[in-house]
């Protein structure tokens, strides 16, 4: 028998369509199936049956898909006749089984038969004229022997049902085995906790930032559990682990329910005050409560219209009725109050995260709404299934709702269905573990087999969005134009509009100004439930979605929507045990105990309550001067500059207020946890970099967050700990470029200031505020003072984390990979008496180059002589290793020049000076890290070949298509064309394995747009899919920095494991590692040993070998120089064979089917013949000539291949020729006066939003030529089109091989063993 739990894949991604359906549902198969599942979920089984018949009649489906759909239908039918018994319903399920399954010759499985038995037991007994026994005997006769035992052992039948079956069919003798499971009940134990009140002095409250509503109150309510425990004679410190876990569960609350309670409370408060009018409702929460009430009524009215549409005859249905038939069933899945609340929460959260004064793209917004509804519907379905008590307590159809919530809480909208698929899969993979007594969190909710199709989500989300727009109102006070009296009226809170971007029209959702202002007063953080630190150790990571929080854990790896490849590879690696060390490393990070540093917190609380800007605390009332408005008769450009300056001030004011609101939340959390021990569960991104999951307060936060935190477990300083406390103080002060002895002396020299800061932080000299990281400096001052005042400093128990930071960690890895002796010295891989500083070294090289140009009277050198500092080059050096473009580097340097206010003369511009300096920086890095330069170029070439290859499976499908006879029917021809396209798309992404066996899959793919007509507008949706072609350019640019990130992540996790083995506390912020002062020297040894362990192996050689194995059998599309012997011979061969396969070929045309399809099939045939054991086949294969054989004979060393232009700016210090020439032109000719304009800061290249880095310098007269992908549609239309027919290259399919690994330099990484400044 087949497994009925199969999660079908082919139909859910099928492009087949249901047309002219009698039940009114039509469209692509995935859309229709989503309606089928919705009907099952809301109990409309009869309509679901009609839809299922239509789907199976219209679509070509695999047997497994058909069985899965029938199984789900039978399950819903069985449940329906149990909950709502009716004779027609009982007859219908048996009739369906006879006519749709048995009569059509479909095989049935154990799960189907269990449902039929369950339905049979609902029939009347023979004593009263029924046929119960006959039905049971009939179905049991179909599954005799082992098959019958399999049916009875599915867990779908309750103990009572099994007993009844046993009496009717006693052959199985099941007595005793199932009675126990039927009678077992899980009961909650009321635990007795220790009593006795702890007396504490009253702690001042955190002065709230002015924000209307109960958002802050909601957070305080969540945190009140910590203050209420002592009042009841309870103490967290005296609780056992189970009691603490119960407290933790209470903290992980449900967002929607909490929001509804908060809105209702605000509305009730206003009622008590006599302010029940909509015009008087100023609280944002109370307004949302009213929106929710009105939207709930609107949804009920729409559901009534849906029911009316379903009853109409086919010919009488309007287009609106047909739309209702699609999204209508989904409106019934959730209660109307919850459906409206989810919609409001999602929209308001989107406004809060993207800016309430900015419009939201309609497509993104409606998909987010539908995704959130989908997640809630899954929880609702599981909850309802469990509540109905239809299924056995041991059934896989029963899921613990708390465990499901914990797997969904931290995911983005729409993650629930993907989670259910993973849960089903892991249910069977981990059944052995569960049989050993581990708690199963997995179950089977049959309606939820795949995510809702994007088009269905768009229709549902659009209706919910339009409903919210219709009901959401805000009061706006205006002045009457005639009477001049002030009047208040209700206006739409949200409106639907359009905007244009790069020549394209987009639908947007815009907030009313009054709503935007209200959201500025009450920030979005109050609208969403966020994770707090845990009060118990996080659960260990055991599965991809099991670990971390107790009720609401996250995923092991943070993957974005559509990046399913990373998830599949990770799950496979987990199943093989390859991620054991990764999971243990994350567990080590999560089990580190933390406490609030009370000394720092008390000072911070006092500083906060003053409202002043102290350290990085945002001021309560910032003093920002708005420039005076110029006279209207002045130059229009001056007025534009004034408007820009006013906007800058207002943006700064808004930013400071948002920052203070966020810090308000952080301080509330710190205050609540002031006496508690807590933990930060960790997960990682797709490269393996670890991050704490709680977003508000964690050690990766800003300076004030790090200053607030200390280790929960202290350790005696011992003989050397005091020295490292002093060095920690010097480091956070900013005196971190000196030797260790000098840093220690720095603390001794400033001991009076340290004491003053520790004892009189706000009323003394405030020396600590002069530090780079003032709050961390204050923490060090307090710890150092306490140690020095103790009777024996070596016995002082210190809780302060002491940091050891890497020296430009990315360059450290590159220097080791490339064996660059000079570069290794600059990043402290070589032992030295003083710490080397790569930024200072690059600055010195730039200065030397400027001096040489000074002798030539270079105008840029004349301006910059003596003006270059370490700060000028630091950001560019730091980001060069992570892929910053030359254009981005210029912006970074220009920002520093403007900040330094370097004077200009003549026509000299900051843009020209920035281009000049950026060129010098790139040249210095290229010389300093020669080996790394070559490795980065090798990375790019490998990625280029991988992203232009076809896999053996694709080539086989292509062969199959060529062997098929030609078809004339349009539908068949379109399907064949689609299959051909799928077979020839470049879909291979760059994948590698880290030294800790974690597979890394780059997620960059091209997004495919699809037009969907909704109730609001026609929307073009881009749906991520692993079957989409890759984005070659992003794959190339992302690979070098992502590979280095995966190495530094490996170094961190390996160090965490080794430190844990030696009993060291360990925490990390990427390349900054923390432990107790007493253990710094031990940790440094671990850091050096771990780095040496990684780089003592041939990292690049191993990567090359992995590529060869992973992509074996692939063919990639290379380009040969047209003028080369190989190029000429290939062109000659194509002219002779231009009629091959009936395709007309044009020489040089890259898109013609001859070389793109037929040549590949011909080459595959040749390879297959050569590998045959038949000598005749081998001889025939040798006679076949293809462009591949021509190239291998005439250019065996690949010297005739054309390099991809995208590789030109990948390597360290590499400047594309066009950018270098542009830089020279800028030096010679520029009329930029950029000091009058605000400079936009350049950020490092973010491969998930890289457009920020590719901003062109608008101030320069000579603008660098843009890559075509960087141009707007308008710019591309003006660009002269290159004639590809005469391009100097010839495409050819070649077996995927990789270039030779670059030769490594002579640096010996083992010398690192003696480098005390590697991390310092």
1090 token code pair: 């771990």
Give CB contacts under 8 A, 24+ apart, made by 734-739.
Answer: 734/771, 734/772, 734/773, 736/805, 736/1320, 737/835, 737/837, 737/840, 738/834, 738/835, 739/833, 739/834, 739/835
The DSSP secondary structure of 895-959, one letter per residue, reads HHHHHHT----TT--HHHHHHHHHHHHHHHHHHHTHHHHHHHHHHHHHHHHHTTEE-HHHHHHHH
Q: Residue 1062: what are its φ and ψ, rounded to 5°? A: -95, 5
* Structure-token pair, residue 1106: 């992995």
What phi and psi values does residue 487 have, to the nearest 5 degrees? -135, 150
CA atoms within 13 A on the CB side of 293: 11
Contact present, 898 and 1239 (Cβ < 8 Å) = yes
- Quote the CA–CA distance of 251 and 633 in Å, as a whole number: 61
The token duo for 530 is 């966020």
C-alpha 512/C-alpha 494 separation (Å) is: 6
Considering only CA atoms, which of 622, 625, 623, 708 is closest in space to residue 663? 708
DSSP letter assigned to residue 964: S
Separation of alpha carbons 780 and 733, rounded Å: 10
**Rounded CA Rg of the chain:** 34
Output DSSP code: residue 1018: E
- H-helix or E-strand spanning residue 215: helix 215-231
Question: Mapping DSSP to helix (H, G, I), strand (E, B) and coil, where does residue 1250 land?
Answer: helix
Tell me the DSSP string of 548-592: ESSSS---SEE--TT-HHHHHHHHHHHHTTTTHHHHHHHHHHHT-
Parallel/antiparallel/unpaired status of strands 715-716 and 797-798: antiparallel
Specify whether the CB–CB gap between 993 and 999 falls below 8 A: yes
Q: Is 403 helix (H, G, I), strand (E, B) or coil?
A: helix
**Dihedral angle computed from the Cα positions of residues 272, 276, 282 and 288, in that order, rounded to the nearest 10 degrees:** 100
* Residue 179: Cβ-neighbour burial (10 angstroms; 0-12, 13-18, 19+): middle
Indicate if the alpha-carbon torsion angle 770, 776, 779, 780 is positive or negative. Answer: negative
Q: Which tokens belong to 143? A: 């599954």
Length of the chain equals 1320
Strands 539-543 and 27-28: unpaired
Hey, what are 664's tokens?
């308000």
DSSP reduced 3-state for 337: helix
Instruction: Give the closest residue to 508 by CA, choosing from 1023, 1252, 1016.
Output: 1016
Which positions are annotated as active-site residues? 805, 874, 1071
Cβ atoms of 471 and 294 closer than 8 Å: yes
CB 207 within 8 A of CB 608: yes
In angstroms, the CA 934 to CA 929 distance is 9
Residues paired with residue 18 on neighbouring β-strands, in sequence order: 27
* Whole-number Cα distances in Å, 549 to 240, 536, 540, 769: 18, 9, 9, 37
Structure tokens belonging to residue 588: 């080590």
- Which residues lie below 8 Å from residue 114, measured CB to CB, with a gap of 6+? 151, 152, 154, 156, 157
């Amino acid at each position: 028998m087949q497994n009925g739990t199969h999660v079908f894949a082919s139909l859910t991604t099928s492009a087949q369509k249901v047309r002219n359906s009698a039940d009114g549902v039509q469209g692509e198969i995935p859309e229709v199936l989503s309606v089928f599942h919705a009907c099952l979920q809301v109990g409309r089984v009869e309509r679901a049956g009609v839809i299922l018949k239509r789907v199976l009649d219209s679509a070509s489906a695999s047997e497994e898909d058909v069985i899965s759909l029938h199984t789900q239908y039978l399950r819903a039918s069985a449940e329906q006749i149990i909950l709502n018994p009716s004779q027609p319903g009982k007859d219908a399920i048996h009739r369906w089984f006879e006519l749709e399954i048995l009569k059509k010759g479909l095989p049935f499985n154990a799960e189907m038969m269990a449902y039929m038995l369950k339905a049979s037991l609902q029939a009347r007994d023979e004593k009263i004229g029924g046929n119960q026994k006959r039905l049971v005997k009939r179905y049991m006769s179909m599954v005799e022997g082992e098959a019958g035992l399999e049916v009875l052992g599915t867990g779908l039948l309750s103990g009572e049902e099994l007993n009844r079956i046993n009496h009717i069919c006693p052959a199985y003798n099941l007595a005793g085995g199932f009675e126990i499971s039927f009678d077992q009940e899980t009961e909650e134990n009321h635990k007795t906790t220790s009593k006795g009140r702890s007396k504490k002095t009253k702690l001042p409250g955190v002065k709230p930032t002015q924000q209307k509503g109960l958002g802050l109150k909601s957070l305080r309510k969540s945190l009140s559990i910590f203050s209420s425990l002592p009042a009841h004679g309870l103490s967290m410190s005296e609780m056992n682990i189970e009691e603490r876990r119960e407290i933790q569960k209470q903290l992980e609350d449900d967002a929607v329910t909490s929001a509804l309670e908060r809105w209702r409370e605000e509305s009730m408060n206003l009622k008590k005050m006599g302010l029940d009018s909509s015009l008087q409702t100023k609280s944002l929460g109370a307004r949302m409560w009213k929106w929710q009430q009105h939207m709930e009524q609107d949804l009920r009215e729409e559901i009534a219209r849906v029911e009316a549409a379903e009853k109409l005859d086919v010919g009488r249905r309007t287009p609106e009725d047909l739309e209702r038939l699609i999204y209508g069933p989904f409106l019934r899945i959730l209660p109307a109050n919850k459906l409206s609340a989810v919609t409001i929460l999602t929209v308001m959260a989107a406004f809060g995260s993207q800016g309430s004064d900015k419009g939201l793209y309609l497509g993104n917004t409606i998909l987010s709404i539908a995704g959130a509804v989908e997640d809630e519907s899954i929880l609702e379905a599981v909850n309802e299934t469990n509540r109905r008590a239809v299924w056995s307590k041991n059934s896989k159809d029963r899921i613990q709702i708390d465990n499901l919530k914990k797997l969904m809480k931290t995911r983005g909208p729409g993650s629930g269905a993907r989670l259910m698929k993973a849960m089903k899969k892991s249910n069977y993979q981990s059944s052995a573990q569960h049989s050993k007594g581990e708690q199963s969190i997995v179950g089977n909710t049959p309606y939820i087999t795949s995510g809702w199709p994007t088009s269905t989500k768009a229709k549902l989300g659009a209706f919910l969005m339009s409903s919210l727009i219709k009901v959401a109102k805000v009061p706006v006070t205006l002045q009457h134009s005639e009477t001049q009296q002030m009047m208040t009226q209700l206006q739409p809170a949200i409106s639907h509009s359009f905007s244009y971007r790069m020549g394209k029209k987009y639908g947007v959702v815009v907030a009313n100004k009054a709503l935007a202002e209200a959201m500025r007063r009450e920030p979005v953080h109050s609208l969403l439930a966020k994770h707090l630190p845990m009060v118990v150790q996080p659960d260990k990571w055991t599965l991809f979605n099991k670990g971390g929080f107790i009720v609401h854990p996250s995923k092991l790896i943070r993957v974005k929507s559509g990046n399913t490849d990373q998830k599949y590879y990770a799950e496979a690696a987990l199943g093989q045990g390859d991620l054991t060390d990764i999971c243990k490393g994350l567990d080590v990070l999560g089990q580190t105990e933390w406490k609030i540093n009370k000394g720092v917190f008390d000072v911070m609380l006092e500083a906060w309550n003053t409202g002043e800007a102290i350290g990085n605390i945002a001021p309560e009332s910032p003093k920002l001067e708005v420039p005076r408005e110029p006279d209207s008769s002045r130059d229009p450009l001056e007025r534009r500059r004034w408007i820009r300056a006013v906007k800058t001030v207002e943006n700064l004011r808004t930013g400071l207020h948002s920052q203070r609101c966020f810090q308000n939340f952080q301080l509330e959390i710190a205050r609540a946890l002031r006496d508690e021990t807590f933990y930060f569960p960790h997960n990682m991104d797709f490269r393996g970099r670890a991050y704490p999951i709680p977003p508000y307060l964690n050690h990766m936060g800003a300076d004030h967050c790090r200053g607030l935190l200390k280790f929960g477990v202290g350790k005696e300083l011992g003989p050397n700990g005091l020295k490292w406390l002093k060095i920690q103080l010097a480091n956070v002060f900013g005196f971190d470029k000196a030797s260790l002895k000098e840093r220690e002396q720095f603390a001794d020299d400033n001991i009076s200031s340290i004491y003053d800061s520790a004892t009189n932080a706000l009323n003394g000299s405030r020396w600590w505020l002069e530090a780079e990281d003032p709050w961390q400096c204050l923490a060090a001052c307090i710890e150092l003072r306490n140690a020095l005042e103790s009777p024996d400093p070596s016995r002082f128990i210190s809780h302060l984390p002491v940091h050891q930071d890497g020296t430009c960690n990315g360059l450290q890895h590159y220097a080791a990979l490339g064996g660059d002796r000079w570069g290794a010295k600059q990043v402290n891989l070589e032992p030295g008496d003083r710490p080397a500083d790569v930024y200072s070294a690059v600055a010195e090289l730039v200065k030397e180059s400027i001096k040489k140009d000074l002798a030539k009277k270079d105008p840029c050198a004349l301006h910059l002589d003596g003006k270059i500092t370490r700060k000028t080059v630091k950001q560019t050096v730091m980001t060069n290793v992570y892929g910053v473009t030359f254009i981005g580097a210029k912006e970074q340097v220009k920002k520093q020049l403007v900040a330094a206010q370097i004077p200009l003369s003549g026509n000299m511009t900051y843009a020209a000076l920035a281009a000049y300096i950026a060129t010098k920086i790139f040249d210095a890095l290229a010389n300093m890290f020669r080996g790394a330069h070559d490795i980065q170029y090798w990375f790019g070439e490998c990625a280029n070949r991988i992203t232009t290859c076809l896999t053996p499976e694709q080539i086989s499908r292509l062969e199959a298509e060529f062997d098929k006879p030609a078809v004339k029917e349009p539908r068949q021809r379109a399907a064949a064309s689609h299959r051909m396209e799928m077979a020839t798309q470049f879909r291979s992404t760059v994948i590698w394995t880290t030294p800790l066996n974690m597979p890394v899959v780059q997620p960059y793919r091209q997004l495919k747009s699809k037009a969907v007509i909704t109730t609001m507008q026609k929307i073009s949706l881009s749906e991520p899919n692993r079957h989409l072609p890759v984005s070659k350019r992003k794959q190339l640019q992302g690979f070098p920095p992502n590979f280095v990130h995966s190495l530094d992540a490996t170094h961190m996790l390996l160090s965490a494991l080794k430190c844990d083995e030696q009993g060291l506390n360990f925490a990390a912020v990427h390349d900054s590692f923390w432990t107790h002062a007493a253990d710094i020297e031990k940790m440094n040894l671990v850091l050096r040993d771990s780095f040496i362990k990684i780089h003592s192996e041939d990292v690049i050689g191993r990567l090359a070998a992995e590529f060869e194995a992973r992509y074996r059998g692939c063919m990639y599309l290379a380009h040969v120089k047209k003028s080369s012997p190989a190029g000429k011979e290939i062109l000659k061969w194509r002219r002779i064979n231009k009629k091959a396969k009936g395709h007309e070929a044009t020489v040089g045309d890259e898109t013609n089917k001859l070389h793109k399809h037929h040549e590949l099939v011909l080459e595959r045939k040749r390879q297959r013949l050569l590998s045959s054991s038949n000598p005749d086949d081998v001889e025939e294969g040798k006679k076949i000539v293809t462009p591949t054989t021509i190239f291998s004979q005439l250019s065996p060393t690949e010297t005739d291949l054309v390099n991809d232009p995208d590789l030109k700016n990948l390597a360290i210090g590499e400047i594309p020729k066009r950018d270098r020439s542009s830089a020279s032109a800028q030096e010679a000719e520029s009329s930029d006066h950029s000091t009058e304009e605000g400079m936009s800061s350049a950020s490092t290249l973010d491969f998930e939003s890289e457009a920020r880095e590719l901003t062109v310098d608008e101030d320069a007269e000579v603008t660098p030529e843009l890559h075509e992908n960087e141009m707007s549609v308008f710019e591309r239309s003006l660009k002269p089109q290159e004639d590809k027919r005469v391009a100097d290259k010839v495409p050819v399919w070649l077996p995927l091989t990789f270039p030779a690994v670059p030769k490594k330099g002579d640096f010996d990484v083992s010398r690192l063993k003696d480098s005390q400044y590697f991390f310092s």
